[in-house]
Amino acid sequence: MLRIGLTGGIGSGKSTVSAIFQQLGAPVIDTDRIAREVVAPGEPALAEIGRSFGSGLLRPDGSLDRAALRRRVFRDPSRRRRLEAITHPAIDARMRQRLAELPEQTPYVLLVIPLLLEAGWQDRVDRILLVDCPEAVQVQRVVARDGIDPQEAWRMIRSQASRDARRQAADDVIENDGRLDQTELTAQVRGLDRRYREAAGSGTV
């Protein structure tokens, strides 16, 4: 099974691209979704976050106040590293579990890993697919999506791997700067889907 690591900065359009792959029949394992699962009430990672960062980050119903946690850790690299030390092992274990549950005849799987480079998870994938756009476009999208101020969006972007580092690591790139309409974007994804299925069938990466 070919493992394609889909990555990109916040606001680059990873969710849009992964949804098209899913419509084409590719299994998608999204670590952003897994990240929410492992901090759900009752999960060990949530209890550890409470011990490390204080119970003030928990809502009255016991769920994690993700926005409050994000504000706290994005402004402090040491806190962000502490959070990642709690969540990344749990995310990795659940991702591996989902991979093991896929049928053996699956040609390829799309692993959506926004922090692929930051976590050092390049060895988890066979190819890296980058969804890329200029940082100014990322800011516009994140501000519109999350209702935060531009300065906060810039802090979030600066806390991630640089655009240059991602482009250097990528095997394939989808340019998603807004100039492509949905039809053109889908056509790009269809082309990659065919390539990945052919590569899986021939045993070449």
pTM: 0.91
What's the pLDDT at 88? 95
Query: pLDDT tens string for the chain (205 positions)?
Result: 999 999 999 999 999 999 999 999 999 999 999 999 999 999 999 999 988 887 688 888 889 998 888 878 877 888 888 999 999 999 999 999 999 999 999 999 999 999 999 999 999 999 999 999 999 999 999 999 988 899 989 988 988 999 999 999 999 999 998 887 888 999 999 999 999 999 998 877 7
What's the pLDDT at 76? 83
Rounded (10°) CA dihedral 89, 114, 29, 137: 160
* Phi and psi, residue 79, nearest 5°: -70, -40
What's the pLDDT at 67? 82
What's the pLDDT at 80? 87
Residue in the block written with tokens 């897994």: 34
What's the pLDDT at 100? 96
Q: Are 201 and 107 in contact (CB under 8 A)?
A: yes
What's the pLDDT at 58? 86
Run of H or E including 3: strand 2-7
Cα gap 178→186, rounded to integer Å: 13
